[in-house]
Amino acid sequence: MPLTRDQFPPQFRWGSATSSYQIEGAAHEDGKGLSIWDTFTRQPGTVKNADHGDVACDHYHRWESDLDLMQDLGLDSYRFSVSWPRVLPWGTGKVNAKGLAFYDRLVDGLLARDMTPFVTLYHWDLPQALQDRGGWVNRDTAFRFAEYAEVLARQLGDRVGHWITHNEPFCTAIMGHQEGVHAPGIRDTHAALQTLHHVYLSHGLAVPVLREQSRTDTQVGITLSLHPVYPASDAPEDLQAAHRHDGFRNRWYLDPLFGQGYPQDTWESYGPLVPHVQPEDLGIIAAPLDFLGVNYYFRETVKHAPGQGHFDLEEVHVQGVKRTHFDWEVYPEGLTDLLTRVYEDYQPARLLITENGSTFDDSALDEKLMDHDRQQFFEAHLRECLKVLERGIPLEGYFAWSLLDNFEWAEGYDKRFGMVHVDFETQERRLKYSGRWFRDFLRVPVP
């Protein structure tokens, strides 16, 4: 059966998602301060081809035509992030009026085009000035984040009704502070767990601030990257390994937000590396959410492996399956499994898919940019969204990652996720087949 828009509820949101460092460029313009990514990308060997986000998609200058592109695609919502050091160059204190004005224009531009802004406060570009004071390992950063939230809400809160405090705290903590593959490039598990705790504290402190300073119907949420975890076999030790891995990947992030504290089994596995938690913290972190944003890309399959890491397991590279340019398994069914489980276990008031998308090697595409693999990826995942809705789960929207090819962190410009192809020499934008398919899909008149 063909997939059509009218199979979805009329109020279902259709958006695309981006983030500041990945698209804005203008790294040193109009008073912007340095972020940890400005610093990290200058360290040899951190990013493929020594790429950086100084120009990226030049969205800071091309935002109007980029909004026109979204409007032409028929999208009704746009999820973008604010660069903290563009607004507060030192992370705290004096506001950079020119930086804030950029987001003012962006929000007004969206509203003028009948698109709803979803504003993420933190998508990994911490002000370097705060990193110099210890970054997220320093508890004080959580309080600086709440100040930053207040600055944004006071300026934009009359027009912004959807706030996302953090994008993918797993990546901030684990990729940035345990694996060291993202800024600030630290390799220390305790620092990673302390980081996550402070990120969560900052979230809990910001939620009431955003609500108080914004319009009365404001909704506040957070976005997590979650992965359904499957055992490599039915053997009891693999089932237990899957449960442990789920603690590391999912429950460590979900449980505290939903008032359950850190999961006991995972806490014990970390042993002496666990974060320092002050008595009031867990209550602050569990501030009620209006929605949970879920970023879904792939599943993980694990088997028991004594002595491997903190959790005695290893990931299994499933054979004979389709994979993206990142080598991530294409597994659309995982989306339904994941959202069903999250809803059953945590009952979030609303769910949004705040990112879903794929990178495939576009280098061989001809003039018509026929990226069939990416289109099939979107379509297969949208079909799963229908299954989720049939189960009565309050899924309210889908944001495709991403509008534009952009700076893919440690991979630089090598991995392309866009529905729109970007020529990084000329900044020319061209709709790929996946974008044209999305546009045609969205054009079906809503009843």
| Residues classed as catalytic | 168, 355
Q: Residue 314, exposed/middle/buried by CB under 10 A (0-12, 13-18, 19+)?
A: middle
Q: Does 165 bind ligand IFM (CB under 6 A)?
A: no
- Check whether 384 is labelled as a binding-site residue: no
Residue 94: CB atoms within 10 Å = 9
Q: Does 24 bind ligand IFM (CB under 6 A)?
A: no
- Check whether 37 is labelled as a binding-site residue: no
Nearer to ligand IFM, 170 or 270 (CB): 170
Rounded Cα distance between 413 and 52, Å, is: 9
Q: Which of 84, 87, 209, 192 is nearest to 136 (CA)?
A: 192
3-class DSSP string for 128-172: HHHHCCCHHHCCHHHHHHHHHHHHHHHHHCCCCCEEEEEECHHHH
Least distance (Å) between residue 244 CB and ligand IFM: 24
What DSSP string runs through 290-320? SEEEEE----EEEEE-TTSTTTTEEE---SS
Nearer to ligand IFM, 19 or 178 (CB): 19
Q: Does 281 bind ligand IFM (CB under 6 A)?
A: no
Nearer to ligand IFM, 58 or 411 (CB): 411
Q: Does 136 bind ligand IFM (CB under 6 A)?
A: no
Residue position matching structure tokens 């405090």: 165
- Cβ pair 381, 346 in contact under 8 A: no
Cis preceding linkage at 184, omega within 30: yes
What are the structure tokens assigned to 313, written together?
């397991």
Least distance (Å) between residue 232 CB and ligand IFM: 25
**Rg of the Cα atoms in the chain:** 21
Q: Residue 389, exposed/middle/buried by CB under 10 A (0-12, 13-18, 19+)?
A: middle
Q: What b/e readout covers 240-267, taking b as 16+ CB neighbours within 10 angstroms?
A: ebbbbbbbbbbbbbbbbbbeeebbeebb
- Check whether 71 is labelled as a binding-site residue: no
- Check whether 84 is labelled as a binding-site residue: no
Q: Does 125 bind ligand IFM (CB under 6 A)?
A: no
What are the structure tokens assigned to 130, written together?
């705060």
What are the structure tokens assigned to 396, written together?
């309210």
Q: Does 401 bind ligand IFM (CB under 6 A)?
A: yes
From candidates 5, 16, 19, 57, binder to ligand IFM by CB under 6 A? 19
Q: Which of 33, 48, 26 is nearest to 127 (CA)?
A: 33
Nearer to ligand IFM, 5 or 374 (CB): 374
Nearer to ligand IFM, 8 or 378 (CB): 378
Rounded Cα distance between 49 and 414, Å, is: 9
Nearer to ligand IFM, 353 or 393 (CB): 353
Least distance (Å) between residue 358 CB and ligand IFM: 9
Residues 301-360 close enough to bind ligand IFM by CB under 6 A: 355
Least distance (Å) between residue 139 CB and ligand IFM: 25
Least distance (Å) between residue 268 CB and ligand IFM: 29
Q: Which of 336, 309, 332 is nearest to 391 (CA)?
A: 336
Q: Does 408 bind ligand IFM (CB under 6 A)?
A: yes
Which segments of 347-432 does DSSP mark as H helices, in order?
372-390
Q: Does 118 bind ligand IFM (CB under 6 A)?
A: no
Residue window 411-440: x/- pattern of binding to ligand IFM, with contact defined by CB under 6 A: ------x-----------------------
Least distance (Å) between residue 250 CB and ligand IFM: 16
- Check whether 22 is labelled as a binding-site residue: yes
Judged by CB under 6 A, the number of residues near ligand IFM is 8
Nearer to ligand IFM, 304 or 325 (CB): 325
Rounded Cα distance between 210 and 145, Å, is: 11
From candidates 83, 165, 189, 295, binder to ligand IFM by CB under 6 A? 295
Least distance (Å) between residue 401 CB and ligand IFM: 6
Q: Does 223 bind ligand IFM (CB under 6 A)?
A: no
Binding-site residues for substrate: 22, 123, 167, 297, 401, 408-409
Interface residues with ligand IFM (CB under 6 A) are 19, 22, 168, 295, 355, 401, 408, 417
